[in-house]
Amino acid sequence: MKVPESVLTEKRDTPMETMRSFERYNLLLNGQVVRTPIALSAMAGIVDADYALSRSSHVGVAFLGGYSIDKPTMEASRVLEAGGRREFIFDDPVEELSSQVSRMDGSGLVCGLNLRGSSPESFTGIASQVGDQVIYEIDAHCRQEPMIAARAGEYLLTHTDLLAEEIRALKKADVCVSVKIRAGISPDDRRLARKIWHSGADIIHVDLMDYDYQKVRQIRNSCPLVLIANNSMNTFDRVRDMFAHGADLVSLARRADERTLAGLDAAIARYTDEHGWYNSPKQLCRGGDVRALTFCCMPVKNCPLIPMLEKVGLSREEYMRFKEKAVAGTPLEPGAQTCFGSLAWCCKDSSPCMFRDMTLVQVGLSRQEYMRLKKQLADKIVQHLFSLHADPDTC
C-alpha cells in the first residue's frame, strides 16, 4: 500500500508517523491520513479549536461547532443562549470559522466544521471563503425548537429535499461533506442514507440514540459512504461492536476526556496490530454486514449467503466469478488444501482453521497480512455491489 505523496508533505505528524497511521488504518478523510479512527463530535459552545487541540494526542478527527452561519440560525442560537444553553455567538461567521480553522493547522487532526444553516447558499457562502481544507458537516441533528423553526438541524431529517440541495451545493463547491443525523427520526433511515449518498455526500455521521449496532449495519448496507457511529462510544467493547457492523470511525462528545480517549486509542491500536483490520466485520452467519462477503464460502449450502445474494441481485455464478477475478494474481488466490481451493473463500482469522493457517505459512502470509488482503477484497465487493445500486440490507 502506497501513501499518497501529498499527505507526506503536510504540516502535521512526521512522515514516519503518518505512514504508520496509514499502514495501520488505511483511512483517509478529505485527502488526509486519519491518525486513529476516533472523532470528536460537536458540542455547541464547547468544541472549538482549543478544546480539540487539548485532546489531539488521541483523536484523528475533530468536528468543531456547531456553528450557526446565517441570520435565522444565528437568531436561533441567541434564543437558545438566552434560555441557558451554551452556544457559539459571533457577529461574523467567516472571520470566526477561518480563525478556528487556522488554529488547527499543523495539529495532525482532520478538521470538520459542524454547521447549522437554513439554505444551500448559507453553506456555500462559508465554504467559498473558508476553503477546502476542512470537512463541512451539515448539522441535521439539533432538536432544539428555535433551530428547527429556522429550517436547520433535525428539520432536515423530515425535509430531505432541502438537505439534498444543501449537500449538492456544497459538492458543487468541491468540498468534503459530512451529514450528522439522529437515528430513528426519519421514517426510514435506509432511504435517508441512500438519499444522502445519492446527493453526493462523503460521510454519514449518525447519533444512534437508543439504537445499537443493528442500526450501523442497516446504514452500512444502504450506502458506501464513510460511516461514523456516535453515542456513548465510551468503551472498547462498544466501539468494536460498531466497527464489526460497518462503522469506519466512532465519535465522542460528552465523555471525550483524555482518559477515555487514550484508552480507546490504545485498545484500537492493539487490536489492529494483532488482527490487521481494525473494523473487520463479523462473518455473515454471525450477523455481519455486507463486507462479510469477503469471508463467505462458495454458495453450496443453505445459509445466510443465499438470501444476501438474492437481495443484492447477484446470481451464485456471478458472485463466484466476481470473487475469483478479484483475487486472481493476489496471495489470496492459492489454497489447494482449503475447503474451496482458494483463500478467497476462507473464514475470518478468529475462526480457527489449520488448513487455512497451513496455506498462509506456505504462501508466506502473516495473519495480519491475510486480514488486510481480505479488507481489500471487501472493498472491491462493496464497490461493485453499490455500483449496481444494490441494497444489501437484510435487517
The residue from 42, 74, 163, 308 that contacts ligand FMN (CB under 6 A) is 42
Tell me: does residue 285 bind ligand SF4 (CB under 6 A): yes
Angle between helices 189-198 and 160-172 (to 10 degrees): 30
How many beta carbons lie within 10 A of that of residue 395, not counting itself? 12
- Measured from the CB atom, is 114 or 283 closer to ligand FMN? 114
Distance, CA of 248 to CA of 215 (rounded, Å): 14
Q: What angle do CA 383, 178, 145 make, to 5 degrees?
A: 140
| CA-angle at 44, arms to 265 and 248, nearest 5° | 35
Q: Considering the rule CB under 6 A, would residue 295 count as an interface residue with ligand SF4?
A: yes
Applying CB under 6 A, among 167, 227, 297, 381 the residue interacting with ligand SF4 is 297
356 part of the interface to ligand SF4, by CB under 6 A: yes
CB neighbour list of residue 164: distance below 8 Å, 6 or more residues apart: 195, 196, 198, 199
Handedness of CA 102, 103, 109, 112 (dihedral sign): negative
Shortest Å, Cβ 204 to ligand SF4: 26
Binding status of residue 43 toward ligand FMN by CB under 6 A: yes
Of 37, 66, 117, 120, which one interacts with ligand FMN (CB under 6 A)?
A: 66
Which runs of consecutive H residues, i.e. helices, occur in 188-315?
Answer: 189-198, 213-220, 236-243, 258-275, 305-312
Phi first, then psi: give them for residue 197, nearest 5 degrees: -65, -50
Assess 353 for contact with ligand SF4 (CB under 6 A). Answer: yes
Contact region with ligand FMN (CB under 6 A), list: 5-13, 226-234, 280-288, 290-298: 226-234
222 lies in the binding site for ligand FMN (CB under 6 A): no
Q: Contact between 55 and ligand FMN (CB under 6 A)?
A: no
Q: Which stretch binds ligand FMN (CB under 6 A): 104-112, 136-144, 288-296, 356-364?
A: 136-144
- Give the closest residue to 377 by CA, choosing from 349, 338, 343: 343
Residue length of the chain = 395
**What letters, b where the CB count within 10 A reaches 16 and e where it falls short, cover 249-264?**
bbbbbeebeeebbeeb
Instruction: Break the chain down into helix, strand, coil percent, rounded to 5.
Output: 45, 15, 40
171 binding partner (options ligand FMN, ligand SF4, none; Cβ < 5 to 8 Å by kind) = none
Q: Is 264 in the site for ligand FMN (CB under 6 A)?
A: no
Binding-site member from 27, 284, 309, 365 for ligand SF4 (CB under 6 A): 284
Query: Which x/- pattern, by CB under 6 A, does the window 304-343 give for ligand SF4?
Result: xx--------------------------------xx----
Contact residues toward ligand SF4 (CB under 6 A) are 283-285, 295-297, 303-305, 338-339, 345-347, 353, 355-356
Contact residues toward ligand FMN (CB under 6 A) are 41-44, 65-66, 114, 139, 141-142, 180, 207, 230-232, 252-255
